Amino acid sequence: MTQSVIVQVGQCGNQIGCCFWDLALREHASVNQKGIYDEAISSFFRNVDTRMVGDGGSISKGKICSLKARAVLIDMEEGVVNEILQGPLRDVFDSKQLITDISGSGNNWAVGHKVFGSLYQEQILEKLRKSAEHCDCLQCFFIIHSMGGGTGSGLGTFLLKVLEDEFPEVYRFVTSIYPSGEDDVITSPYNSILAMKELNEHADCVLPIDNQSLFDIISKIDLVVNSGKLGTAVKPKSLVTSSAGAFKKQQEKPFDAMNNIVANLLLNLTSSARFEGSLNMDLNEISMNLVPFPQLHYLVSSLTPLYTLADVNIPPRRLDQMFSDAFSKDHQLIQADPKHSLYLACALMVRGNVQISDLRRNIERLKPSLQFVSWNQEGWKTSLCSVPPVGHSHSLLALANNTCVKPTFLELRERFMRLYKKKAHLHHYLQIEGMEESCFTEAVSSLSALIQEYSQLDATKSMPMEDLPRLSVAV
């Protein structure tokens, strides 16, 4: 069994990470009711004997003693990390896994990347090496960060290069939260474009998620719940209610519920690596099967049912409907419509009581409505994990390498150019040692090259399919 380390960077990364660890513990507690430290739990947790002095002795089997997350927490402000350490998850982390500063990066990619990167490089390396040493077979680093701020975008992408240099054989999966058009950080287009260049060059897979899609999903859940349809109810103390028990007002940003969606994405993404199933998919298979060209490693994700994410009691969707939902634009975690764009490849990660025949039937049913590149018409990768999410009979995570990510990148470039043409706020970046205006021009050129690659693929969409001869097998 392999292990993975979660590296959560910045305010957003740490808040999502906090949600992830909470849900992971609940999921394993539901499955592992005898409290035995097994291979599934070892994927993300160490079992530590806290009675031992120093680092604590790791226990490879037997009863769970004290679980410690395989995580590194980084933020250049103390607030969120301190909240985690004072909250219910405080015992899952220890001070050896944390790196914090007081001043913050001031929404400036250059401060996070150039200043704090060089300042904390050795400390970060030490924590990563320590986490790696505790793994028998380290397979993947999951980086969780936002693109719009300073620490998440700057230090988060600095970290990617460090990981590539130090652990070249270990996969780097990045969950990147993209800012919406109404983002309250004025410099977020600069930060995002500068970060994109690093993602292009140093990540194996990127799962782009935009805040607007998350907000829309939560709003839809609220709408369904408020409609009073039969069987619809919100569970007490759920993430879609406030502490007072009333529904969150529309003007409030329901960050907890939004972060919960991303945490569930990561849980489902790793379920096949953690639990048994008739058709398992390892994390390395995702990269191998879904990324045909090095830079086209941006995977659009969709989750169904969405209700899992908000503790809402809604009658379960029929199995076939669940597959249809995964390809509708309402279930995508970025604002995109994959059905009207070109697929390079697609993975379906199913959990629960689902048979291989159900998978095949639904793929055959959906195939005519989906357009795949001519050279990969059978570009499906599937997995079946027998353990469903807590409280549900089945779920589906779809990961699509699809040209529908292009509009997100185009909009980002447009917002960047609006600022950059006026050279607005540029001096804040250029006063940082090591930052030059060429950093901006190179970053936007890198993004334009990526957009061009997607455009070239899109141009093949209307071309007639070649009827390639198939190999005849004599029986």
pLDDT number for residue 237: 47
Residues in the chain, total: 475
pLDDT number for residue 233: 53
The span from the CA of 241 to the CA of 254, in Å, is 9
User: Is there a domain that residue 259 lies in?
Assistant: no
User: Is there a domain that residue 330 lies in?
Assistant: no
CB 189 within 8 A of CB 419: yes
Listed in sequence order, the residues at least 6 apart from 176 whose beta carbon sits closer than 8 Å to its beta carbon are 145, 146, 147, 195, 199, 206, 207, 208, 209
439: domain CATH number is 1.10.287
Domain count, the chain: 2
Task: State the DSSP H helix or E strand holding residue 394, giving kind and residue range, or none if neither.
Answer: strand 394-402
User: Is there a domain that residue 433 lies in?
Assistant: yes
Phi-psi region of 450 (alpha: psi -120 to 50; beta: other; left: phi over 0): alpha
Helix axes 79-86, 10-31, angle to 10 degrees: 20
Parallel/antiparallel/unpaired status of strands 138-146 and 3-9: parallel
Domain extent for 41: 3-227
CB 294 within 8 A of CB 302: no
Closest by Cα among 335, 308, 325 to 214 = 335
The span from the CA of 400 to the CA of 348, in Å, is 9
User: Is there a domain that residue 398 lies in?
Assistant: no
pLDDT number for residue 252: 43
pLDDT number for residue 475: 47
Query: Strand pairing partners for 146?
Result: 177
Structural domain ending residue among the three candidates 227, 248, 276: 227
Task: State the DSSP H helix or E strand holding residue 402, giving kind and residue range, or none if neither.
Answer: strand 394-402
Parallel/antiparallel/unpaired status of strands 342-352 and 57-58: unpaired
Percent helix, strand, coil in the chain, to 5, is 45, 20, 35
Listed in sequence order, the residues at least 6 apart from 64 whose beta carbon sits closer than 8 Å to its beta carbon are 35, 36, 37, 41, 47
CB 163 within 8 A of CB 131: no
CB 41 within 8 A of CB 32: yes
pLDDT number for residue 244: 35
User: Is there a domain that residue 124 lies in?
Assistant: yes
CB 76 within 8 A of CB 151: yes
Residue tagged 């780097």 (tokens): 172
User: Is there a domain that residue 252 lies in?
Assistant: no
Structural domain ending residue among the three candidates 227, 252, 285: 227
CB 402 within 8 A of CB 344: yes
Question: Which residues of the chain fall short of a pLDDT of 50?
Answer: 230, 236-253, 309-310, 468, 475
pLDDT number for residue 280: 86
CB atoms within 10 A of CB 89: 17
Tokens representing 286 are: 């995702």
Specify the DSSP class assigned to residue 226.
H
User: Is there a domain that residue 240 lies in?
Assistant: no
Tokens representing 375 are: 């050279």
Residue 402: phi and psi, rounded to 5, are -140, 145
Residue pLDDT, tens place only, 320-377: 999 999 999 899 999 999 999 999 999 999 999 899 999 999 999 999 999 999 999 9
Parallel/antiparallel/unpaired status of strands 233-234 and 312-313: antiparallel
The span from the CA of 306 to the CA of 328, in Å, is 12
Cα separations (Å) of 376 from 288, 364, 366, 405? Answer: 14, 15, 16, 19
User: Is there a domain that residue 279 lies in?
Assistant: no
Identity of residue 210: D
The span from the CA of 81 to the CA of 168, in Å, is 28
Collapsed DSSP state (helix, strand, coil) of residue 113: helix
CB atoms within 10 A of CB 23: 19
Closest by Cα among 462, 346, 329, 351 to 407 = 329
Burial of 329 from C-beta contacts in 10 A (0-12 / 13-18 / 19+): middle
Specify the DSSP class assigned to residue 186.
T
76: domain CATH number is 3.40.50.1440
Structural domain ending residue among the three candidates 197, 227, 257: 227
CB 61 within 8 A of CB 32: no
The span from the CA of 328 to the CA of 339, in Å, is 7
Closest by Cα among 112, 206, 126, 132 to 399 = 206
